[in-house]
Amino acid sequence: MKSESLNPKKVFDGILFDVYHWEQEMFDGNFKTFEKVVRAPSTDVIATIGDKIMILLQEQPTKPLFPSLPGGRVENGDSAEDTAKREMLEETGYGSNEWSVLIDFPGILHKFEFHETVFLAKNCKKVTEQNCDSGEKIKVDFKKFDDFLELCRNPKFTCPLGLKFMMYEALLDKKKKIELKKKMFE
């Protein structure tokens, strides 16, 4: 949690979410208890093969079919990059030797903290069979760049909010579109 100077205390230790409380002095001298939710960090991967981008068509027990990117929760002891590589391999069977960070979102909102890292994996190749979790049904699909950008308009598309903003900006601003495409394919 980023509010260390406020001396927060963890009041709930969850699987995905932890809750912290701290006392904060108000302008009138009184104190109030404040709260913040901290979610385990996660990764997403924009995987390219030739001039296409890998998209997952995913179904989970609590979510009907939705488009997403490969990725998942960073587990204790793993780095974000190790997580991204492992999740992409498990969910798709694809690997890459060309990894970089596209963007790192510190994920600090007023009362919610959720760190997300979006990686680029270029020139991916099929190296094994999918090994999905028991709660995942995943079909791998591929989209051209313009079709990928249009996904940001799909309310079911699951990806970091900051990435959706980048995709919207690329749809609305030709210069940003050229820059994003260059980052993803050159």
pTM recorded for the entire structure: 0.89
- pLDDT given for residue 163 in this prediction: 95
What are the backbone angles phi and psi of residue 12, rounded to the nearest 5°? -150, 130
Domain residues of the chain, as ranges? 42-106+115-185
Helix-strand-coil split of the chain, %, nearest 5: 25, 45, 30
Task: Yes or no: say if 115 and 109 are a contact pair by the CB < 8 Å rule.
Answer: no
3-state secondary structure of 80: helix
- pLDDT given for residue 5 in this prediction: 56
CATH number of 42-106+115-185: 3.90.79.10
pLDDT (tens place) for every residue of the chain, 186 residues total? 444 457 899 999 998 899 999 999 999 999 999 999 999 999 999 999 999 999 999 999 998 999 999 999 998 789 999 999 999 999 999 999 999 999 999 877 778 889 999 999 999 999 999 999 999 999 999 999 999 999 999 999 999 989 999 999 999 999 999 999 999 998
- pLDDT given for residue 22 in this prediction: 94
- pLDDT given for residue 3 in this prediction: 45
In whole angstroms, give the CA distance from residue 24 to residue 76: 30
| DSSP strand pairing (17-25 vs 31-49) | antiparallel
